[in-house]
Amino acid sequence: MGHENFDEMRKAMVVSQLRTTDVSDPHVIAAMNTVPREDFVPAASREIAYSDRGVAIGEGRALNAPLATGLLLNTAELTNEDNVLLVGAATGYTAAVLAHLVNQVVAVEQSAKLATKAKANLTGLDNVTVEKASHKDGFAKNAPYSVIIIDGIADSIPSSLTDQLADQGRLVGSTLDNGVARLVIGHKAGGTVGYQYFADCGGVSLPGFEKDKSFTF
């Protein structure tokens, strides 16, 4: 399949998946219309890179669905001054999108193989670093972050991550509520994070959060 077809598939994703929902930030739309998602999935899956569901990338993992990622980025209200912790780097797609939107990105990935792929895929993006670390541990060395993005469904959001969020910072992610995947945003004030759901949306499971139940509804 040629680049022209992938370009058309990318445009179709924007029109049919993003613009028809609540993804309205023109910067997010432009970034997702620019980054070649097909370069972040296995060669055999390139033709389904822009489908409205997760795409398997090995290690029992999948690249999050475009709509789920788009809604997270849109709701985070990102600016070019933000320093972002991305939890679940996978093969680097969301980090590549964020590179167009924010000041700095630290992308954490607990799978050594996926972290290696992400680093290779993100070569040349000077404002993105990939760290091999447990998802629930984040990367405290570079904290605090003005935004934390959990790009997948987590069973819970642990204090080990919220402790790395700056006061007045935002955290967006997805968690399960009675078996339903719901997107959530949290705002930190006075050392406490207050959460609210903003959308029901399917996504891919993100490992590493199974034992910590510090945040549940």
Rounded distance, CA 185 to CA 196, Å?
Answer: 6
Q: Is pLDDT larger for residue 141 or for residue 20?
A: 141
Token look-up 């097909």 returns: 38
Instruction: Identify the helix (H) or strand (E) that includes residue 183.
Output: strand 180-189
Domain ranges of the chain: 3-200
Contact (CB, 8 A) for 152 and 174: yes
Note the pTM of the prediction, 2 decimals.
Answer: 0.93
What confidence tier does 2 reach under pLDDT thresholds 50, 70, 90? Answer: low
Instruction: Quote the CA–CA distance of 42 and 31 in Å, as a whole number.
Output: 21
- pLDDT tens per residue, range 104-150: 999 999 999 999 999 999 999 999 999 999 999 999 999 999 999 99
Spell out the CATH class of 3-200.
alpha beta
Q: Would you state the structure tokens that stand for residue 161, as one six-digit string?
A: 């991550």
Hey, what amino acid is at 2? G
Task: For 47-86, give the secondary structure using H, E and C.
Answer: HHCCCCCCEEEECCEEECCHHHHHHHHHHCCCCCCCEEEE
DSSP for 91-150, please give it.
Answer: TSHHHHHHHTTSSEEEEEES-HHHHHHHHHHTTT-TTEEEEE--GGG--GGG--EEEEEE
Nearest-angstrom CA–CA distance, 119 and 164: 23
- Tens of pLDDT, residue by residue over 27-75, are 999 999 999 999 999 999 999 999 999 999 999 999 999 999 999 999 9
3-state secondary structure (DSSP) of residue 33? coil
